[in-house]
Amino acid sequence: MHIRTRPLRRLVVGAALGALLLAGGGPVAAAKPPPRPAAGPGTNHATDDPFTASRTSWWRQDRFGMFIHFGAYANLEGEYTRPDGTVCRNAEWIQRECAIPKAEYEKQAATFNPSAFDAEAIVKAAKDAGQRYIVITSKHHDGYAMWPTKQNTWNLRDHSSFDPHRDLLAELKKAADAAGIKLGFYYSIWDWHDPDFADPATFPRYRKRMYGQLKELIDHYDPALLWFDGEWDADNPTNRWSRRDGAALQAYLHGLKPGLIVNNRVGKREVVDGDFGTPEQEIPAEPVDGQLWESCMTLNDHWGFAKYDTHWKSPATVVHNLLDVASRGGNYLLNVGPDRLGRIPQPSVDRLREVGRWLGSGGRGDAVYGAGHTGLVADPSWGAVSRRDDELYAAVTSWPGTGGSLHLTAKGPFEITAARVLGSSQRVAVTRAGDGFDLTPSGATPDPLAGVIRLTIRPPAAAPVGEGTGLTARSWANDSFTGPPAAVGVDPTVNKSYRFDGSPDPTIPADHFATRWTGTLQPRYDETYTLTTVSDDTVRLWIDGRQVIDGSVPHGARVDKATVALKAGHRHRIRIDYTERTGEAHLKLLWSSPGQEQQIVPRSQLYAD
Ligand code: H79
């Protein structure tokens, strides 16, 4: 939002445009300004900061979710016997990878009858595991809809042997609501079944049906989240999903449900796409720069049910993964693949229950729920450390032998005032040692999966929350900062997603503009901060007159970082020069430090000239 605090000096082009609009018809005498546009010049599509918005609050706290891959492919249970008798194995990609003819895949789907799908049992399995949200495939790449969509007949009601009076997604929604579990839907953009998908001439027809299906999902099941996939460039069938398609879809969804959380595959999986990044089958070594994130992972080696796959992860591995993820500020979405009748495999249920037992005893969940990354300590080799308020949770996956200790490397100035092992009465001796602390527990690990030592800390001294109102923003209708600015105001935060059609002001067109932010930046800690910009097309950042980021060669969405020693309460001069040439436009300013988790630099710490 661009708040004007000073009279504007409009460019001639702006005045001419205004005259043109007036001449275009309508009551000229109307004195009221037109409502702010939802698109076009003057629009910023970044409506909030996902790192701190109430919209994303549940998701940031909950940390642990259940992914469910269930579709017509489950009916084959991972094996396809070709006409020549040979067997081809896969799971949710079986139609494509085993080259099953379309007619044949349709024929097998007609016998799909997940009569044993028990929404309450599934929700209970998630709840027992300590999972607080569920994301289920509403439609995978095979295009088969798991609800009675009105857009086509390639769905569970119209093309199966399932009870036509049942609706799995409605059943799951009801059970999830009753248990206080959030429900979201996976939806594949890439569609192998719809004949209109691959051809640019017919794609608009597909898109209309896709928008129709997404509206059905939102209207009928009110999902908390949409998890897109299949956005990448692909052949067989050709996938031309573009960044422009992604921007339009995100705006459409936002219009349908402003509180919706959406993953980055709604666009092209870039740092500016959606609300969160989606590392798949991997855990990033550090917090992901510039965006929230969630690692999705299988419990064996397949997403969909594969009857031959017994390569299950151990409960210890799952717990360790969850602890690693939480300590880096991410979420963990752990998959189950129900069988042809809709039952979660027993080995999955058993493992989930064991993970839940671990999380639910001794208050160990505090190391995960509502906990996040801390820069106060280095990642230890013996486990992972998360922070929740003024407590650190040292999750120990290799507990020391008798008398042995665990070293904690401190990266910021803090004290440990108390230490205890959760779910155990043993004592922990804390001594200063080398670059940090040694923790010496008096006994053996309280649990074979992992033990958690809760450390109460006196955090680094913080200056009070500031009284800033944002930075001065001057914007030009050219990309060279030439002449008088077209708009001057104060921006509470530097958090802009103009995308393709927006700009800083209705008088500034969507291409070839520039903004210069100036004022002061007031940190709350005496620490080395990492200042992060997410930019498209160019950015330059100065702190106290020294240039620390130079992204002046035009580029697509990109992250730049600078480390700068700042002084608590001191007001450091800041200047950001940003330009948009053509295409998409984005610019965000974030910070993090040992005492401060990554966030958009808040308004209270920014002061205008
Ligand atoms: O829905 C799950 C997967 O089906 C989907 N994303 C998760 C959440 C996914 N799509 N692609 N990939 C995962 C990675 C791509 C792997 C591929 Fe292949 C290698 C595609 C073709 C070769 C995997 C292996 C699928 C077929 C063989």
DSSP string over 530-567: EEEEEEESEEEEEETTEEEEEE-S--SSEEEEEEEEE-
Residue 519, burial from CB neighbour count under 10 angstroms (0-12, 13-18, 19+): buried
Q: Is 336 in the pocket of ligand 1 (CB under 6 A)?
A: no
* Residue ranges matching CATH 2.60.40 in the chain: 383-458
Look at the block and give the residue holding tokens 């963990």. 332
pLDDT digits (tens, 9 = 90+) for 17-43: 333 333 333 333 344 555 555 789 999
Does the pLDDT value for residue 431 go beyond 60? Answer: yes
370: pLDDT strictly greater than 90: yes
Mean per-residue pLDDT, 390-395: 98
Both tokens of 222, joined, read: 């009110």
pLDDT at 193: 98
Environment class of 83 (CB within 10 Å of its CB; exposed 0-12, middle 13-18, buried 19+): exposed
**Does 10 have pLDDT greater than 50?**
no
Task: Look at residue 203 in the predicted model and tell me its pLDDT.
Answer: 97
DSSP code per residue over 411-437: SS--EEEEEEETT----EEEEEETTEE
Shortest CA distance to 129 belongs to which of 384, 327, 313? Answer: 313
- At 47 the pLDDT is 87
**Mean per-residue pLDDT for 190-194?**
98
Q: Which CATH number fits domain 383-458: 2.60.40, 1.10.10, 3.30.870, 1.10.730?
A: 2.60.40
Token pair for 52 = 């701190």
Distance in angstroms between the alpha carbons of the first and the last residue of the chain:
18
Q: Where are the alpha helices (DSSP H) in 284-407?
A: 315-327, 346-360
Q: State whether the beta carbon of 162 lies less than 6 angstroms from ligand 1.
A: no
pLDDT tens for 225-270 read 999 999 999 999 999 999 999 999 999 999 999 999 999 999 999 9
Pairing assessment for the beta strands 383-388 and 391-396 based on DSSP bridges: antiparallel
Token pair listed for 85: 């008798």
C-alpha triplet 436, 438, 443: angle, nearest 5°: 160
Cα–Cα dist 523/596, whole Å: 10
Residues 6+ apart with CB under 8 A from 265: 189, 227, 228, 229, 230, 231, 273, 274, 278
Give the residue range(s) of CATH 3.20.20.80 domains in the chain: 64-360
Say what percent of the chain tops pLDDT 90.
Answer: 93
Q: Is 67 in the pocket of ligand 1 (CB under 6 A)?
A: no
Q: For residue 472, what pLDDT band results from cuts at 50, 70 and 90?
A: very high
Q: How far is the CA of 244 from the centre of ligand 1 (A)?
A: 24
Look at residue 603 and give its three-state secondary structure.
Answer: helix
Atom 10 (ligand 1) nearest CA:
230
pLDDT in tens, 90-101: 999 999 999 999
CA atoms of 246 and 584, how far apart (whole Å): 12
Which one, of 376, 281, 389, lies nearest residue 325 by Cα?
Answer: 281
Q: In the prediction, which pLDDT does 9 show?
A: 34
pLDDT at 37: 57
pLDDT attached to residue 25: 30
pLDDT tens-digit map of 487-520: 999 999 999 999 999 999 999 999 999 999 999 9
pLDDT tens for 38-66 read 789 999 999 899 999 999 999 999 999 99
In ligand 1, the atom with minimum distance to the C-alpha of 335 is 8
Residue with tokens 């009284």: 467
Q: Measured in angstroms, how far is the CA atom of residue 191 from the centroid of ligand 1?
A: 14
Q: Is 97 in the pocket of ligand 1 (CB under 6 A)?
A: yes
- Is-contact 452 472, C-beta < 8 A? no
CATH number, domain 64-360, options 3.40.50.1980, 3.20.20.80, 3.30.70.20, 3.40.640.10 = 3.20.20.80
**Average pLDDT of the chain to the nearest whole number:** 94
* Residue of minimum CA distance from atom 17 in ligand 1: 93
Residue extent(s) of CATH 3.90.182.10 domains in the chain: 471-608
User: What whole-number distance in Å separates Cα of residue 11 and Cα of residue 598?
Assistant: 38
**3 state SS for 75-89:** HHCCEEECCCCCEEE
pLDDT of residue 94: 98
Q: Are 562 and 548 in contact (CB under 8 A)?
A: yes
Gap between the Cα atoms of 380 and 53, Å rounded = 31
**Token reading at 276:** 């969160």
Q: Is 0.85 surpassed by the pTM of this model?
A: yes
Q: Is 303 in the pocket of ligand 1 (CB under 6 A)?
A: yes
Cα of 469 from ligand 1 centre, angstroms: 46
Burial degree of 36 (CB within 10 A; 0-12, 13-18, 19+):
exposed
DSSP string covering 256-303, please? Answer: H-TT-EEBGGGTTS-TTSSSEE--BS---SSPPTTSEEEEEE-SSS-S
CB-based contact 146:160 (threshold 8 Å): no
| Residue 387: strand pairing partners | 372, 392
Is 471-608 a CATH 3.90.182.10 domain?
yes
